[in-house]
Amino acid sequence: DTEVTQTPKHLVMGMTNKKSLKCEQHMGHRAMYWYKQKAKKPPELMFVYSYEKLSINESVPSRFSPECPNSSLLNLHLHALQPEDSALYLCASSLLRGTDTQYFGPGTRLTVL
């Protein structure tokens, strides 16, 4: 099974709200990723976690705060977002950091009003 799950599927929030996105995998993968995808563009890497530790932050604004509470779970905490942050947020996982195949979840469609 190569399933990555994400909740919620859709999220609408105001610029003063705080919300969180959740990602889960039970494949025993030790690397997890957050991507942002704007319409008609490929995904852009935001963060990489390896063994529950943040290993890459692609210069993402601090209003996005990732968290990896355990090896199966990855969260993305959102605060004071801007309308231009509206996008599809994708989570992915791979067996280990630096190994080849990343498996993606279905994404959370975020709209910031």
On the question of a cis peptide bond just before residue 83, with omega within 30 degrees of 0, the verdict is no
Task: Tell which one of 41, 51, 77, 111 touches other proteins (CB under 8 A).
Answer: 41
| Closest separation in Å from C-beta 106 to other proteins | 4
Q: Do 4 and 92 meet the contact criterion of CB atoms below 8 Å apart?
A: yes
Of the candidate spans 12-20, 43-51, 59-67, 73-81, the one that interacts with other proteins by CB under 8 A turns out to be 43-51
Closest by CA to 85, choosing from 64, 59, 106, is: 64
Phi first, then psi: what are they for 97, rounded to 5°? -65, 135
| Residue ranges binding other proteins (CB under 8 A) | 2, 6, 31, 33, 40-43, 45, 48, 56, 88, 90, 92, 94, 97-107, 109
